[in-house]
Structure 1
Amino acid sequence: MQTYESLLTVTEDDLDELNHVNNVRYVQWVQEVAKEHWVEFAPEELRESNFWIMLTHFIEYKSPAFLNDVLNLKTYVIKSEGVTSTRIVEILNNKTNKLLAKSETTWCFMSYETNKPARITNQVVKLFH
């Protein structure tokens, strides 16, 4: 299983009225780290012919993050079949390694040419497993 990690620091723009990270921000980070993982490992010709769309999103919030916390976003794909992949994103406090949130998303592999779902090839599976 290919794991991708990305660090970020919580800024004031990430906070809600309770002064912890807004739940919506976690959803944005899940989408961003998934895209970063794709861009990092997929060859250019594959990225130019295909893209991913999110079909379902489940997130479990475990503990809040606060201003200036450094977070480690860790992502990996647990299943790819047909036209869909299931991706996990774990958001951890980088200093304590405490799990703050965990998401499971289902993504659909799409063709730019047809703008329709495309079967996930062995090449794509090998990128993430």
Structure 2
Amino acid sequence: MTRFTQIITASPADIDELGHVNNAVWVRWIQEIAVAHWVALAPAEHQAAYVWVVTRHEIDYRGNVRVGETVTGETWIAAPPKGARFDRHVRFTGADGKVKVEAVTTWAMLDRATGRLARVREEIAAPFL
């Protein structure tokens, strides 16, 4: 499996009234790291032909991040796709080494031209497994 990492620093716009990263921002970061992983590894012809949509998020919030703090986001796909869908794992770890957020998200692949679900063929999944 090919893991992908990205460093993210919390900006003032990411912070809620409790003084830490808002839960909706974590969801945005989950999507951003997933898309960055796709762009980094998928051939241009696959990126042009397909688009991914989230069908489910399961998120565990384990710690807080405040403005200016940095997390390392890591994502990977642990198992082959099932039809048009696969589960993506995401983990954000703080500079202190503690996991702040963990998630398993289910994504479905759509054919850009038709907008319909498309089976994830072996050659599409291979760079990620």
- Provide TM-score, normalisation by structure 1: 0.96
Q: In the alignment, what sits opposite 2:28?
A: 28
Q: How far apart in 2 are the matches of 1:74 and 1:37? A: 10
Q: In the alignment, what sits opposite 1:6?
A: 6
Q: In the alignment, what sits opposite 1:50?
A: 50
Q: How far apart in 1 are the matches of 2:9 and 2:101? A: 15
Secondary structure of 2:89's match?
strand
Secondary structure of 1:78's match?
coil
Report 1:36-115 matches (<5 A): 36-79=36-79, 80-93=81-94, 95-115=95-115
Secondary structure of 2:34's match?
helix
Shift of 1:113: 1.7
Q: How far apart in 2 are the matches of 1:46 and 1:15? A: 35
Identity %: 29
Secondary structure of 1:81's match?
coil
Q: In the alignment, what sits opposite 1:123?
A: 123
| Aligned partner letter, 1:82 | G
Q: How far apart in 1 are the matches of 2:26 and 2:53? A: 17
Shift of 1:123: 1.0
Count, aligned residues: 128
Moved over 2 A (4+): none
Unaligned runs of 5+ in 1: none
Shift of 1:118: 0.4
